[in-house]
Amino acid sequence: MSDLPNQPAAVAQTMDINEIMSLLPHRYPFLLIDRLIEIERKKRVVALKNVTVNEPHFAGHFPNFPIMPGVLIIEAIAQAGAALLLTEIPDRASKLMVFTSIDDARFRRPVVPGDQLRIEVTVLNWRSNAVKMRGIATVDGKLACEATVMCALTNRKTAEPAAAPTGVSAE
């Protein structure tokens, strides 16, 4: 714990799935990182994603030749970066990190069931409400995907129950 006011608590050097879920709002089937294995505050994070054949996207992408969709690999990069960023936000329960751009995305090799995706995200520019990051995803040391992503911090709005239309009885 830091003794300085307005300073976030020290960040662990690794995080398991339960700790990740305490930071990110994503849940199955859209939580795409399993573990954070390296964390450097405001600089860099390394995450792992174990790719398994029972993930729902493999049923249609592609039958008899399952390949993890590239957009999901980029989403995993963004989730790893968001996990790093949200460790620095004291009121994160009321905030969301959302995509604002994806640049220079390149896909170099297919990611298939049985692979372990190693996702390394490096912060290029950090502002109080937006971050630009460079992500690379590798399998067995070979580049699978790379992209530059930008995310912005926004307020999380709680859903209010829809009002019943006027003149309609609830009976």
Which residues participate in catalysis according to the annotation?
61
Residue reference for tokens 């029972």: 54
For residue 128, give the DSSP letter: S
Collapse the DSSP code of 10 into the 3-class scheme (helix H, G, I; strand E, B; otherwise coil) and give the result: coil
Torsion of CA 29, 32, 34, 37, to 10 degrees: -170
Contact 68, 112 (CB under 8 A): yes
Distance CA(32)–CA(74), nearest Å, equals 10
Distance CA(26)–CA(98), nearest Å, equals 12
Q: Amino acid letter at 122?
A: T
Q: Which helix (H) or strand (E) holds 104?
A: strand 95-107
